[in-house]
């Protein structure tokens, strides 16, 4: 910890620390020469103000928190990029927290940022989260919160999401058009709004196409990667196996590819695959993967932009901000005939 502070600068220049403070912040009440002297000395001594003293005094931390389920996922890394791009511009610092899809972790994290540590929070909730209390407490403490991608709909605050329902519909419709009749939606959550919407769109497309509802046309992944994989492989090995898979997230698509490979199932001839994914490698997979690609960077950027409005404008009504940025369906070989 740099032991050099404003008092030392003041002493060496034989002026008061308030003068130094003002000089460093270019106050108009300080003379040109004094400012120059002070700034030169500060530079020479490698002075850098203690941010926490300043935060304490000003009740502003110039820091935001990003809370999300995981980070080793294309969507989330890209979203952080978007968030960071606006935080940088605003001169804000970014704290990252991972819930690992656990509500209790998330709750603990939220408890630790409700006390002045951050000026605002961006959150993508865990799979388990149903209770709005931790977030409501934060809002009650006057800290703005913006959801990105995974929201908790019952909480009255801003959110930036994508058109999940529509994409679920369009994705299923494409698979039907390609002649598939035994579609399987593999979802990573039965409760997450984004997954429910994708699923609802998927079901509606089947309905519209006159396909009867069938048991097993949707299955849900668990937390456990291994058992997930077994589940997927089992479905693909069944006698009445699906002829098309819609994967709700890239990790599942990868597992489907690997399972198909192991089972000797040819994609797209014997099995079509379509995934919600931001995989940069989608075009060079074997075969190239048809994706619903979310605007991950833009979602992060937009959410952060809204958050800063909430931080900077005292009376900005966050709860009126519900941005939906559409995803785009990109057809590739995995769904070709």
Partner DNA sequence: ATGAAAGCGCTAACAC
Partner DNA sequence: GTGTTAGCGCTTTCAT
Integer angstrom CA distances of residue 126 from 67, 82, 123, 157, 191: 9, 20, 9, 17, 10
- Here the tokens at position 193 are 């709004």
Answer for which of 26, 29, 32, 59 binds a second copy (CB under 8 A) is 59
Which positions from 115 through 134 interact with a second copy, judged by CB under 8 A? Answer: 115-117
Q: Give me the DSSP letters along 86-130.
A: HHHHHT-EEEEEE-TT-HHHHHHHHHHTSSSS-SEEEE---TT--
Of how many residues is the chain composed? 337
Answer for which of 22, 102, 137, 233 binds a second copy (CB under 8 A) is 137
Answer for which of 18, 81, 154, 230 binds DNA (CB under 7 A) is 18
Instruction: Give the C-alpha separation, 278 to 295, whole Å.
Output: 8
Integer angstrom CA distances of residue 325 from 167, 218, 254, 300, 301: 12, 26, 25, 11, 11
Maximum alpha-carbon separation in the chain: 88
Answer for which of 26, 46, 59, 280 binds DNA (CB under 7 A) is 59
User: Hey, which residues does 238 pair with through a beta bridge?
Assistant: none
Instruction: Give the C-alpha separation, 20 to 14, whole Å.
Output: 10
Q: Is 337 in the site for a second copy (CB under 8 A)?
A: no
Answer for which of 34, 84, 85, 336 binds DNA (CB under 7 A) is 34
User: Which of DNA, a second copy, none is residue 96 near (CB under 5 to 8 Å by kind)?
Assistant: a second copy
User: Hey, which residues does 94 pair with through a beta bridge?
Assistant: 64
Stretch that binds DNA, among 22-30, 98-106, 258-266, 267-275 (CB under 7 A): 22-30
Q: Is 328 in the site for a second copy (CB under 8 A)?
A: no
Q: Is 49 in the site for a second copy (CB under 8 A)?
A: yes
Answer for which of 43, 58, 314, 315 binds DNA (CB under 7 A) is 58
Answer for which of 12, 45, 53, 230 binds DNA (CB under 7 A) is 53
User: Which of DNA, a second copy, none is residue 16 near (CB under 5 to 8 Å by kind)?
Assistant: DNA
Residues that bind a second copy (CB under 8 A): 1-2, 46, 48-53, 55-56, 59, 61, 63, 70-74, 76-78, 80-81, 84, 88, 93-98, 111-112, 114-117, 137, 140-143, 254, 257-258, 261, 279-281, 283-288
């Amino acid at each position: 910890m740099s032991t050099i502070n404003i008092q030392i600068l003041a002493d060496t220049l034989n002026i008061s620390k308030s003068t130094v403070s003002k000089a460093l912040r270019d106050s108009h009440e300080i003379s040109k020469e004094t400012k120059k002297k002070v700034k030169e000395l500060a530079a020479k001594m490698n002075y850098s103000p203690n941010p926490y003293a300043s935060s304490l005094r000003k009740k502003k931390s110039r820091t935001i928190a990003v809370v999300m389920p995981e980070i080793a996922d294309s969507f989330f890394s890209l979203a952080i990029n978007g968030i960071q791009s606006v935080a940088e511009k605003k001169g804000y610092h970014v704290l990252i927290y991972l819930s690992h899809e656990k509500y209790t972790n998330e709750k603990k994290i939220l408890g630790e940022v409700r006390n002045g540590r951050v000026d605002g929070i961006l959150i993508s909730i865990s799979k388990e989260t149903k209770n709005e209390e931790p977030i409501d407490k934060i809002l009650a403490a006057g800290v703005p919160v913006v959801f990105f991608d995974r929201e908790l709909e019952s909480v009255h605050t801003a959110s930036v999401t994508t058109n999940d329902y529509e994409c679920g519909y369009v994705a299923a419709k494409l698979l039907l058009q390609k002649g598939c009749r035994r579609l399987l939606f593999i979802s990573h959550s039965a409760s997450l709004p984004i997954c429910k919407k994708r699923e609802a769109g998927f079901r509606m497309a089947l309905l519209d196409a006159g396909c009867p509802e069938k048991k097993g046309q949707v299955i849900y992944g668990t937390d456990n990667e291994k058992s997930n994989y077994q589940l997927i492989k089992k479905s693909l090995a069944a006698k009445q196996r699906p002829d098309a898979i819609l994967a709700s997230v890239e990790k599942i698509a990868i597992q489907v590819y690997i399972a198909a490979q192991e089972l000797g199932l040819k994609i797209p001839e014997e099995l079509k695959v379509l995934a919600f994914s931001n995989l940069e490698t989608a075009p060079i997979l074997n075969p190239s993967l048809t994706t619903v690609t979310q605007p991950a960077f833009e979602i992060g950027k937009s959410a952060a932009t809204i958050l800063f409005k909430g931080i900077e404008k005292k009376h900005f009504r966050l709860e009126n901000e519900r941005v939906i940025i559409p995803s785009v369906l990109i057809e590739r070989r995995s769904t070709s005939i």
